[in-house]
């Protein structure tokens, strides 16, 4: 594991050579870890098509290794399509999983050989009919995000009733309706939260069958969690719960199962390295210190919004006396605070110039960093080669 390698490296006096990069902050990425995560998930789920959600981390080396390992891809834009195709992915393995697409982007995807598209509204279905004739389409249904640390809103999905109507209508528009998808919210900690949506999907399958259309594609989305401050249940437990629900609600007519993991594949492949810029107190009697890092909400740690994702932080003084801190970023924006309520405890010896490592940060960091707010550069990525 890249995280272990780096933490081990820090316990010695000389960090490993690959840590000697010039200027923080940066993400150290080990694409081999993403491929290993893919294999573990694919094995846990068995006979399930795995679409990596490219937005979690579109680093070409991750995409190349996943394509080699047999992964499919969930893409949301023409740029993500181009990245996947340029790294050897077959267009047949791409699913255009964004429910909000421009007509010209649908045409572009279709020209490049993409044949799977999602929709969640009549308007989008019409667009697909006009710009991707004959394509396979599936409908995203609303799902509850209860239990998820990074919930999704009602922005995506429609009711099961509307999904059934639209899917039944698809053949008359020259499209091939294949099934249903949903997403139970990212960093979903509760393996049983997929069950209500799988029940809804089974209802849609039965309803559409009344019109003589048989669906067979069930995409249960992403959401599979990784350990940040708190440990999470292993992926095998999520696979067991989901397979159990599918058997219960679909019975004999088991559909082809698909998943769209993002975070689970790439988070553990990355470690962020950052420098302490300032340690201060708001009064001479305050016990809580403020620790300002050279990375913050705008530099890649966007998921600390609402203190939703609580990263584990490693310092060179771990194990020594420590005390409570608030953690903030370097910009002049007052929302650039990562943790003020979550009790973080860091060593008293921590000082400006120290490097800290923020673990499991390979997902939703580089792609969330601003292009240069306040003059701070976008988050850089360095990939670790085969021999590291």
Ligand X SMILES: *Cc1c(COP(=O)(O)O)cnc(C)c1O
Among 157, 179, 221, 296, binds ligand X (CB under 6 A): 221
Q: Which two tokens stand for residue 206?
A: 């039965």
What is the per-residue DSSP string for 341-366?
Answer: EEEEEEETT--TT-EEEE-S-SSSSG
Is residue 157 a contact residue for ligand X (CB under 6 A)?
no
Two structure tokens written together for 135:
């394509």
* Interaction of residue 223 with ligand X, rule CB under 6 A: yes
Chain centroid offset of residue 184 CA: 12
Q: Which residue is nearest to ligand X (CB)?
A: 222
Of 31, 222, 270, 330, the residue at the interface with ligand X (CB under 6 A) is 222
Q: Give 3-state DSSP helix, strand, coil % of the chain, rounded to 5.
A: 35, 25, 40
Output the smallest distance, CB 278 to ligand X, in A.
Answer: 33
263 interacts with ligand X by CB under 6 A: yes
* Residue located via tokens 């045409």: 107
Q: Which member of 260, 268, 303, 336 binds ligand X (CB under 6 A)?
A: 260
| Residue 124 within binding range of ligand X, rule CB under 6 A | no
> Does 261 sit near ligand X (CB under 6 A)?
yes
Nearest to ligand X of 59, 74 (CB atom):
74
Task: Pick the closer one to ligand X by CB: 6 or 53.
Answer: 53
Give min distance, CB of 219 to ligand X, in A.
Answer: 8
Interacting residues with ligand X between 44 and 103 (CB under 6 A): 53, 55-56, 74, 97
Rounded CA gap, 242 and 291, in Å?
Answer: 42
Nearest one of 366, 170, 144, 350 to 267, comparing CA atoms: 366
> Which region among 40-48, 127-135, 216-224, 351-359 touches ligand X (by CB under 6 A)?
216-224
- Whole-Å CA distances, 47 to 239, 259, 286, 360: 11, 11, 57, 28
Minimum distance between the CB of residue 294 and ligand X, rounded to whole angstroms?
26
Least CB distance to ligand X at residue 95 (A):
9
Task: By CB under 6 A, name the one of 179, 255, 262, 329 that touches ligand X.
Answer: 262
Is 74 exposed, middle or buried (CB count within 10 Å of its CB: 0-12, 13-18, 19+)?
buried
**289 touches ligand X (CB under 6 A):** no
Per the listing, tokens 């396979």 go with 136
Question: Which of the 8 DSSP states describes residue 378?
Answer: P
> How many residues touch ligand X (CB under 6 A)?
16
Candidates 199-207, 245-253, 260-268, 277-285; binding stretch for ligand X (CB under 6 A): 260-268
Task: For ligand X, give the closer residue by CB, 303 or 357.
Answer: 303
- What is the x/- site pattern for ligand X, positions 177-196, by CB under 6 A? ------x--x----------
Quote the Cα angle for 321-323-324, to 5°: 160
Q: Strand pairing of 313-314 and 355-358?
A: antiparallel
Q: Which is nearer to ligand X, 155 or 341 (CB)?
A: 155
Minimum CB–partner distance for residue 156 and ligand X (Å): 7
What is residue 323's three-state secondary structure? strand
Closest to ligand X by CB, 355 vs 368, is 368
Do residues 75 and 92 make contact, with C-beta atoms less than 8 angstroms apart? no
CB of residue 207 vs ligand X: minimum separation in angstroms?
23
What are the residues facing 293 on neighbouring strands?
276
Spatial contact of 277 and 327, defined as CB atoms under 8 Å apart = no
Stretch that binds ligand X, among 218-226, 284-292, 300-308, 372-380 (CB under 6 A): 218-226
- Reply yes or no: is the peptide bond before residue 379 cis, omega within 30 of 0: no
Kind plus residue range of the DSSP H or E element containing 52:
strand 48-53
Q: Is 268 in the site for ligand X (CB under 6 A)?
A: no
**Contact residues: ligand X, CB under 6 A:** 53, 55-56, 74, 97, 183, 186, 221-224, 260-264
């Amino acid at each position: 594991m890249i995280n272990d390698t780096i933490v081990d490296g820090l316990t010695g006096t000389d960090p490993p050579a690959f840590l000697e990069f010039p200027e923080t902050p940066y993400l150290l990425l080990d694409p081999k870890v993403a491929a290993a995560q893919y294999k573990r998930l694919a094995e846990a789920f068995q006979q399930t098509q795995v679409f990596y959600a490219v937005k979690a981390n579109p680093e070409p080396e991750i995409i190349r290794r996943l394509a080699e390992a047999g992964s499919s891809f969930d893409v949301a834009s023409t740029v993500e399509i181009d990245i996947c195709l340029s790294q050897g992915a077959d267009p047949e393995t791409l699913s255009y999983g964004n429910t909000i697409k421009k007509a010209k982007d649908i045409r572009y995807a279709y020209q490049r050989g993409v044949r799977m598209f999602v929709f969640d509204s009549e308007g989008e279905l019409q667009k697909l009919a006009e710009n991707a004739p004959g394509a396979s389409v599936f409908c995203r249904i609303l799902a509850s995000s209860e239990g998820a640390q990074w919930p999704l809103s009602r922005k995506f999905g429609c009711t099961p009733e509307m999904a059934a109507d639209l899917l039944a209508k698809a053949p008359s528009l020259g499209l091939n309706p294949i099934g249903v998808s949903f997403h139970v919210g990212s960093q979903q900690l509760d393996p049983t939260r997929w069950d209500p949506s799988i029940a809804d999907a089974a209802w849609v399958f039965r309803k559409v069958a009344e019109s003589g259309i048989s669906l067979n594609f069930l995409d249960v989305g992403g959401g599979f969690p990784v350990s940040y401050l708190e440990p999470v249940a292993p992926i095998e437990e999520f696979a067991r719960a989901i397979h159990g629900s599918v058997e219960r609600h679909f019975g004999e007519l088991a559909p082809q199962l698909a998943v769209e993991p993002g975070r689970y594949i790439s988070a553990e492949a990355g470690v962020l390295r950052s420098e302490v810029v300032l340690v201060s107190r708001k009064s001479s009697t305050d016990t809580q210190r403020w620790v300002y890092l050279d990375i913050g909400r705008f530099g890649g740690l966007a998921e600390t919004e609402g203190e939703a994702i609580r990263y584990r932080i490693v310092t060179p003084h771990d194990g020594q006396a420590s005390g409570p801190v608030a953690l903030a970023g370097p910009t002049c924006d007052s929302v650039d605070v990562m943790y003020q309520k979550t009790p973080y405890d860091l060593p008293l010896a921590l000082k400006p110039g120290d490097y800290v490592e923020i673990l499991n940060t390979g997902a939703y960091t580089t792609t969330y960093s601003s292009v240069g707010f306040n003059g701070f550069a976008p988050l850089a990525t360095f990939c670790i080669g085969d021999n590291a």
